[in-house]
Amino acid sequence: MSTDYNSNLEGQQLIFYGAGSMAEAIVRGLLDKDLVSSKQIAMLNRNNKERQQQLHLQYGVQTSMQGKSNEQYLQEANIIFLAMKPKDAAAALRDLKPLLNPSQLIISVIAGLSISAIRKLIGDDMAIVRTMPNTSSTIGLGVTGISYSETVSEQQRFITEMMFEAVGASIVVDESMQDAVTSISGSGPAYIYYIMESMIAGALQAGFTREQAELLVTQTALGAATMVQRTQEDPAELRRKVTSPNGTTQAAIETMQAGGLQEIILAGIKRCAERAAEIGRTIEEDI
């Protein structure tokens, strides 16, 4: 499989326009999989020289501090990842438009930013991919929702899916589902971390040391996720197997149900999707 990766990305220049945590997660995953070399990647931001220096030293990627301007990198790119903050997207894409040509592939990782909005800002003839990855891509365990404009070629689709599958799993969805993807997997790691925080707090209250509490919770979360993945059983069925009648687990689950835990989680997921849509509308209004 790696041979296919190299043959399809050999000589391709990948530019990350925006150098935040999501861009870094994807870059680290691509490099760890040897999908591209660090010399094929440039990570750009507007003013933060300290961040650029850190990324260059850590990953060997190119920045504006290595001799080329942002404009030169963008003009020479084969694939451009849009990874700036949503509030900066409209202005950044207006500046980007004169530097582009129709042979380039544009991949957005900006929550809420629609393909139609990108088209309004950079032109209808560009090949545009809207994605929603998550930060677990940094360890090769991410999951990404992918949607395409009709101008994306089969080869560009293959390359896109190859890159995101190199940093985890991916699913191709209708663009109308992207806000829901954001609410489930895009923001999902934070939900899991929040639950883990609460479990660690419970372990500390019980008298465990911080190190012991983190080990107990982390290994439990890892084991539970791996059980679902390996057995392919429904999580509800696995939960039932752990829950003995009138036992300790049932007592805990009943308390959580009485507190409305599932309803709270569902409400949070719904609000996250709504917020993604709101961000998209704000960007479109700015256009």
Same domain, 203 and 117: no
Look over the chain and give the mean of its residue pLDDT values, rounded to a whole number: 92
Residue after which a domain boundary falls, among 177, 198, 222: 177
Q: How many domains in the chain?
A: 2
Residue range 59-72: mean pLDDT, rounded = 89
Residue 267 belongs to some domain of the structure:
yes
Q: State the pLDDT at residue 1.
A: 41
pLDDT confidence of 275, banded at 50, 70, 90? very high
Task: Give the torsion sign (CA, 159, 165, 170, 176).
Answer: negative
Same domain, 172 and 205: no
Same domain, 135 and 170: yes
Q: State the pLDDT at residue 7.
A: 54
How far is Cα 182 from Cα 85, in angstroms, rounded to an integer?
15
Q: State the pLDDT at residue 66.
A: 81
The CATH number given to whatever domain includes residue 224 is: 1.10.3730.10
Same domain, 62 and 202: no
Structural domain of residue 238, as residue ranges? 188-273
At 220-273, the pLDDT tens digits run 999 999 999 999 999 999 999 999 999 999 999 999 999 999 999 999 999 999
Residue 156 belongs to some domain of the structure:
yes
Residue 281 belongs to some domain of the structure:
no
Residue after which a domain boundary falls, among 156, 177, 198: 177
| pTM of this structure | 0.89
Q: State the pLDDT at residue 140.
A: 87
Is the CB of residue 157 less than 8 Å from the CB of residue 127? no
How far is Cα 103 from Cα 40, in angstroms, rounded to an integer?
17
Same domain, 112 and 148: yes
Structure tokens of 233?
């059983």
